[in-house]
Amino acid sequence: MDHPIRLSRRRLLGTAALLGGAAIGLAGCGRESADALTRVRAGGDVVVGISGERPFGFTDGAGRLTGQGPEVARAVVTGLGGGGLVAVQVPFERLVPDLLDERFDLVTVGLTITPLRCQQVAFSRPDYIARTGLLVRTGNPLGVATFGGVRRSGATLGVLGGSAEFEYALAAGIGSDKIVTFDSQGALVRGVAGGQAQVGALTRISLLDEVRRNAGIGLEVTRGFAPEVNGRRVVGAGAFAFRPADAEFRAEFDRELTALQESGRWLELTRPFGFTEDNLPPPDLTVDDLCARTPES
């Protein structure tokens, strides 16, 4: 695991200003002006977008960039000869637009692969699979277990703006007037706890992490489930997102990511964040399958 190299305040602020966001978790000494693959081959840094969400991509108490996505990305980048990562943190719903606006080289928060996103970005091979969970009051007084159950209950549903869960909710027939959007995972949890929404939806692994860190909040997480779209259950799989033009960088990244998954190193990197063998994508699961919403097997 790499350790960040402290940069001067002048360079740190200069990088942040260049990128229009907060540059954090720095490692190595890259050339911000070159394209990502050129920088990596020269031993430089890759600029990544995060949204500060646990366990996928955040900074720890020491200010170090970490989480499932950054740790895997860091291993890939160093495997390709790069120095490390520079992170820019933005609200979740800004990740894709800011990637396309070239504020960073890739997104490392485990974006769920959906047909809509496939029209906007190019995904790496699947990085993980994870089921959806619902955040409910302790005891689940509404008795909800799926998006369909939320619709039938008439409850308001909290989701992250621009999230896959927002897409799933609409596909389940939940009216937009019943959906409350939040700009961060923490805000979503606080919103459900405070009654702004009666139920929250996110990957179950994220919600479990939030509840563990907020003991006594009066909330619990339902069993995981596969959402339905057009009458079919869909696989929830996350991946790293690239600009479509960066095909060579994505191909090189995929090569190293595949090697990590096949060697067992991926599991070593992700286990501290609550990931297990069940979250490792099967080798035959492809981005093309997921972009077409392949039914869960």
Per-residue pLDDT tens for 82-127? 999 999 999 999 999 999 999 999 999 989 999 899 999 999 999 9
Q: Are 199 and 156 spatial neighbours (Cβ–Cβ below 8 Å)?
A: yes
**pLDDT score, position 296:** 46
**pLDDT score, position 232:** 84
Residue 111 has φ and ψ, to the nearest 5°, of -60, 130
Q: Which domains, and CATH codes, for the chain? A: 9-129+237-279 (3.40.190.10), 132-233 (3.40.190.10)
Averaged pLDDT score across all residues of the chain = 87
Q: Is the pLDDT of residue 26 over 50?
A: no
Q: What is this structure's pTM? A: 0.82
Segment 249-253 shows an average pLDDT of 97
Q: Given pLDDT bands bounded at 50, 70 and 90, which one contains residue 17?
A: very low
**pLDDT score, position 293:** 63
Quick one: what percent of the chain has pLDDT higher than 90?
Answer: 76
Q: Is the pLDDT of residue 8 over 60?
A: no
Q: Is the pLDDT of residue 25 over 70?
A: no
Per-residue pLDDT tens for 200-238? 999 999 999 999 999 899 999 999 999 988 888 888 999
**pLDDT score, position 12:** 36
Q: Given pLDDT bands bounded at 50, 70 and 90, which one contains residue 29?
A: very low
Residue bearing the bigger pLDDT, 199 or 6:
199
Contact partners, residue 39, CB within 8 Å, separation at least 6 = 30, 31, 32, 45, 46, 82
The set of long-range contacts for 29-33, using a CB threshold of 8 Å and a minimum separation of 24, is 29/5, 29/83, 30/82, 30/83, 30/84, 30/86, 32/86
Q: Given pLDDT bands bounded at 50, 70 and 90, which one contains residue 155?
A: very high
